[in-house]
């Protein structure tokens, strides 16, 4: 069944959601207060790099199932409204800034009376502290026929379309699961997601706070897993172990699982860092700060890995001042042009602050990098040109084209074949054979210069690429 629906806030989450809902056959209108973004989307120009999104956008526009507006009055016809607004870290602390979300709910509330009490579902998708949905529902409670449901989003950048159309679960947070009004709201959202539910995605109905906490805990768990293996990295570096051996072996235990155990320069992006901080702030507000106190350590380990790259660079070069360093990668992860809290850009900036001449290259993210660090570091689109003359090369975002670099050809371009693999994706022996001095996070250079015992025993069969399969 076709539903007329709106998506308010067409940033990363909202734009992908709007295009995916149109793909499911719905009549979708996307709204944003950013007129430039709306004009671009309406012209079929994706404001970010996301595999598969451009095609969905084009199809949606062609079939006229998808259109965009800046005017809330255009939303009155829609029966379902998704809230896809950002909840960034507040300027004055760790908590989440809910002002965009609150403003959107208030603006929507202005146009809903025009529906004359017809059943209307408002669906929150943003990541919010527990208690937010109940407060937002109160802002809508004077409107007849309007129900707020909280449906957190779990999509990963780079897989956003796939995660939206075939998610591994759907979570519906309601005011009171026993209430008939909740049942009606759930049925309405089930209709919208019929094309998703047919793929057997489990759908869980729970209270608002549980739904909000599912999202916060999922991201906190992922961040903790990454910082856990990165803390182990620190032990590996001082004992001479190889963290990729440790990760592979512990990941074979089903209870632990192999995913999100890729040691390296750590997590970044617009979600994990700010979400763990908002989770901590929320715990503090509820008087149970110590319950999530460990997340402070998770954040600290993550921060230390970035600083570790700078220390390694200093060790390798005997001081970075005035030295030419090339950073491979600007995006916070491959297959994305997102540079929000990117470990790569952070390290590049730290190296520059320490006096190095830094060149950053990236296949997709240089435009965004320019906005963040332009003027501070050199930005070079072409990988070969970026490598030319480098005294040290630092791989910080594991794009395929950097994994696939030919060490011999790369050696012919740089001034000195020295490399730090900040993501553990290159095969150190292959690079050493080609004449490179290579250091990796969590893989100590043994005094003998020989690989670790475990690696020698299996003849180095565990390649960089097989580690990539653990994503």
Q: Build a one-symbol-per-residue string for 324-353: x at contacts with ligand UGA by CB under 6 A, - elsewhere.
A: --------xx--------------------
What is the C-alpha to C-alpha distance for residues 357 and 65, in angstroms, rounded to an integer?
A: 50
How far is the C-alpha of 128 from the C-alpha of 83, rounded, in Å? 12
Considering beta carbons, is residue 261 or 280 the nearer one to ligand UGA? 261
Residue 351's closest CA among 373, 320, 308?
A: 320
Query: Of 149, 271, 360, 395, which one interacts with ligand UGA (CB under 6 A)?
Result: 271
Stretch that binds ligand UGA, among 165-173, 265-273, 285-293, 445-453 (CB under 6 A): 265-273
For residue 84, the minimal CB distance to ligand UGA (Å) is 11
CB atoms within 10 A of CB 55: 13
Q: Which of 30, 264, 329, 407 binds ligand UGA (CB under 6 A)?
A: 264
Closest of 263, 85, 49, 78 to residue 161, by C-alpha: 49
Question: For ligand UGA, which is the closer residue by CB, 82 or 332?
Answer: 332
Closest CB 218 distance from ligand UGA, rounded Å: 6
Q: Which residue in this structure is represented by tokens 């570096």?
A: 237
How near is the Cβ of 120 to ligand UGA at its closest, in Å? 26
Per-residue contact string for residues 127-146; x = within reach of ligand UGA by CB under 6 A? x-------------------
* 294 lies in the site for ligand UGA, by CB under 6 A: no
Residue 28 makes CB contacts below 8 A (sequence gap 6+) with 5, 6, 7, 18, 19, 21, 22, 60, 65, 66, 67
Q: Which of 211, 231, 236, 271 is catalytic?
A: 271
The SS3 call for residue 415 is coil
Closest CA relative to residue 10, chosen from 30, 40, 35, 39: 30
Instruction: Choose the binding region for ligand UGA from 136-144, 234-242, 256-264, 380-388 (rule: CB under 6 A).
Output: 256-264
Rounded Cα distance between 387 and 326, Å, is 6
Name which of residues 194 to 253 contact ligand UGA (CB under 6 A).
Answer: 219, 222, 226
Can 271 be counted among the known catalytic residues? yes
Nearest residue to 216 via CA among 285, 297, 274, 136: 274
Residues that bind ligand UGA (CB under 6 A): 127, 153-157, 219, 222, 226, 260-262, 264, 266-269, 271-272, 275, 332-333
Active site residues: 271
């Amino acid at each position: 069944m076709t539903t007329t629906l709106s998506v308010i806030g067409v940033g990363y989450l909202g734009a992908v959601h709007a295009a995916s809902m149109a793909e499911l056959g719905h009549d979708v209108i996307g709204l944003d207060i950013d007129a430039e973004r709306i004009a671009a989307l309406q012209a079929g120009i994706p404001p970010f790099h996301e595999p598969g999104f451009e095609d969905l956008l084009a199809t949606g526009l062609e079939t006229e199932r998808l259109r965009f507006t800046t005017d809330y009055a255009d939303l009155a016809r829609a029966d379902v409204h998704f809230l896809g607004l950002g909840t960034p870290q507040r300027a004055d602390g760790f908590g989440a800034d809910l002002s965009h979300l609150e403003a959107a709910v208030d603006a929507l509330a202005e146009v809903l009376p025009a529906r004359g009490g017809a059943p209307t579902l408002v669906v929150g998708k943003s990541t919010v502290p527990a208690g937010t949905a109940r407060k937002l529902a109160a802002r809508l409670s004077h409107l007849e026929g309007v129900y707020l449901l909280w449906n957190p989003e779990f999509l990963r950048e780079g897989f956003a379309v796939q995660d939206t159309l075939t998610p591994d679960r759907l979570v519906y947070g309601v005011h009171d699961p026993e209430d008939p009004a909740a049942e009606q709201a759930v049925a309405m959202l089930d209709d919208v997601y019929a094309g998703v539910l047919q793929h057997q995605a489990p759908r869980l109905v729970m209270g608002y706070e549980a739904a909000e906490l599912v999202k916060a805990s999922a991201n906190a768990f992922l961040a903790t897993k990454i910082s856990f293996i990165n803390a182990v990295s620190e032990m590996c570096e001082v004992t001479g172990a190889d963290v990729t051996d440790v990760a592979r072996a512990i990941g074979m235990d089903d209870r632990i699982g192999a995913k999100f155990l890729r040691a390296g320069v750590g997590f970044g992006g617009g979600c994990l860092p700010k979400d763990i901080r908002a989770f901590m702030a929320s715990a503090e507000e509820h008087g149970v700060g110590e319950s999530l106190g460990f997340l402070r350590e998770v954040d600290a380990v993550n921060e230390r890995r970035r600083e570790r790259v700078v220390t390694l660079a200093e060790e390798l070069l005997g001081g970075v001042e005035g030295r030419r360093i090339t950073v491979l990668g600007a995006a916070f992860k491959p297959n994305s042009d997102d540079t929000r809290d990117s470990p790569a850009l952070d390290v590049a900036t730290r190296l520059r602050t320490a006096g190095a001449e830094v060149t950053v290259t990236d296949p997709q993210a240089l435009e965004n990098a320019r906005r963040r660090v332009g003027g501070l570091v050199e930005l070079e689109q072409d990988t070969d040109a970026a490598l030319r003359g480098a005294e040290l090369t630092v791989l910080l975002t594991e794009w395929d084209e950097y994994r696939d670099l030919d060490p011999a050809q790369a050696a012919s371009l740089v001034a000195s074949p020295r490399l730090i693999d900040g993501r553990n994706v290159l095969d150190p022996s292959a690079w050493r054979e080609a004449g490179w001095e290579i250091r990796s996070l969590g893989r100590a250079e043994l005094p003998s210069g020989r690989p670790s015992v475990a690696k020698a025993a299996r003849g180095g069969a565990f390649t960089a690429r097989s580690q990539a399969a653990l994503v």
